[in-house]
Amino acid sequence: MNILVCMKQVPDTTEIKIDPVTNTLIRAGVPSIVNPFDAYALEMAARIKDQTGGKIAVISMGPAQAAAALKECLTVGADEAYLISDRAFGGSDTLATSYILSCGIKALEESAGKFDLIFCGKQAIDGDTAQVGPELAEHLDYPQITYAVEVTAKDGVVTVKRETEAGYEIIESPVPCLVTATKPAFEPRLPSIKSKMAANKARIPVITAEDITIDLTMAGLKGSPTKVKKTFTPTLKKSGIRITEDTAQAAAQRLFALLSEASLI
């Protein structure tokens, strides 16, 4: 089975910083990780590969430093990785990002053959939009199944256990198909020393705007219909009074007095 996993390198959520002028993420000097939901998607893909054979490619759109996250994916099941990176793509919103990814995927399919399965994490933890996967499916004209917790494939049919608010659904789809993954009952596998050494030596091909067929008016800030107008850190307001009295009766009397003064009782 020919499987593709879309991966995003995201800032550590405790270290996110925003440029006050451009309202975009400041990535320089900020610790980054593989988006956790994408890691779950890769593990689902790896389990299918273990059962049916085939290969797994991983693709990401981002700055040059995202190559480190792609190499991490090579240590836990991926066979090859590709980075889509170009200044013309900077500032893309989810719609522009999904369009760029679709153009990159189509270019890969011309050389590597059509992908049977495309996996995405349900959402990235830095944006939490859950839009890129479904939008990508629309650009590629693939059927899509979202919020997967378990995926199996056999004889050209994908069976997905899908999480819902009321429980679970079992959905089948012919391939090709796009699946978005949420947190399953299992954790991603750990890398081996051998796989780490091989990944460190791997060369990550970079795909630029010149390498794909793309309408640049639909990419980057110009191609993004949504704009971030303002970002800010909420001001923490201290409230509440700690009542410390020698006895419970005295504390109750103090509380009664305070509530009376505030006209609450």
Residue 248: inside a domain: no
Helix, strand, coil shares, percent, the chain, to 5: 30, 25, 45
What number is the average pLDDT over the span 183-210? 95
Contact (Cβ atoms closer than 8 angstroms) between residue 205 and residue 85: no
What number is the average pLDDT over the span 35-59? 96
Query: What's the pLDDT at 89?
Result: 96
Residue 176: inside a domain: yes
Burial of residue 96 (number of CB atoms within 10 Å: 0-12, 13-18, 19+): buried
Which segment of 12-16, 89-93, 222-226 scores lowest on mean pLDDT?
12-16
Reported confidence tier of residue 126, pLDDT bands at 50, 70, 90: confident
Residue 259: inside a domain: no
What number is the average pLDDT over the span 44-50? 96
Residue 242: inside a domain: no
Query: What's the pLDDT at 133?
Result: 96
Dihedrals φ, ψ of 206, to 5°?
-105, 125
Cα separation of 47 and 117, whole Å?
Answer: 13
Residue 234: inside a domain: no
The sign one gets for the Cα dihedral 200, 205, 209, 214 is: negative
What distance lies between CA 62 and its chain's CA centroid? 12
The domain total for the chain is: 1
Residue 80: inside a domain: yes
Provide the whole-model pTM: 0.81
Reported confidence tier of residue 230, pLDDT bands at 50, 70, 90: confident
- Partners of 157 in the β-ladder: 154, 174
For 47, the enclosing helix (H) or strand (E) is helix 36-52
What number is the average pLDDT over the span 115-131? 93
- Partners of 61 in the β-ladder: 84
In 10 A of CB 19, how many CB atoms?
A: 11
Q: 30 lies in which domain range?
A: 2-218
Burial of residue 81 (number of CB atoms within 10 Å: 0-12, 13-18, 19+): buried
Q: 3-state class of 170 per DSSP?
A: strand
pLDDT above 90 (res 15) = no
Residue 249: inside a domain: no
| Token pair recorded at residue 225 | 């219909």
What number is the average pLDDT over the span 205-228? 93
Query: What's the pLDDT at 232?
Result: 66
Write the pLDDT tens digit of every residue in 60-106.
999 999 999 999 999 999 999 999 999 999 989 999 999 999 999 99
Which segment of 53-62, 111-120, 168-177, 222-231 scores lowest on mean pLDDT?
222-231
CATH number at residue 105: 3.40.50.620
Write the pLDDT tens digit of every residue in 53-69.
999 999 999 999 999 99
Cα separation of 53 and 46, whole Å?
Answer: 9
CA distance to 130, 195, 203, 221, per residue, from 206 (Å)? 25, 21, 9, 21
What number is the average pLDDT over the span 100-121? 95
Cα separation of 194 and 93, whole Å?
Answer: 37
| Token pair recorded at residue 103 | 């153009």
Residue 264: inside a domain: no
CA distance to 244, 249, 255, per residue, from 241 (Å)? 9, 17, 10
Reported confidence tier of residue 236, pLDDT bands at 50, 70, 90: confident
Which segment of 110-114, 238-242, 261-265 scores lowest on mean pLDDT?
238-242
Return the percentage of the chain with pLDDT > 70, whole number.
Answer: 92
Nearest Cα neighbor of 64 from 15, 28, 18, 105 is: 28
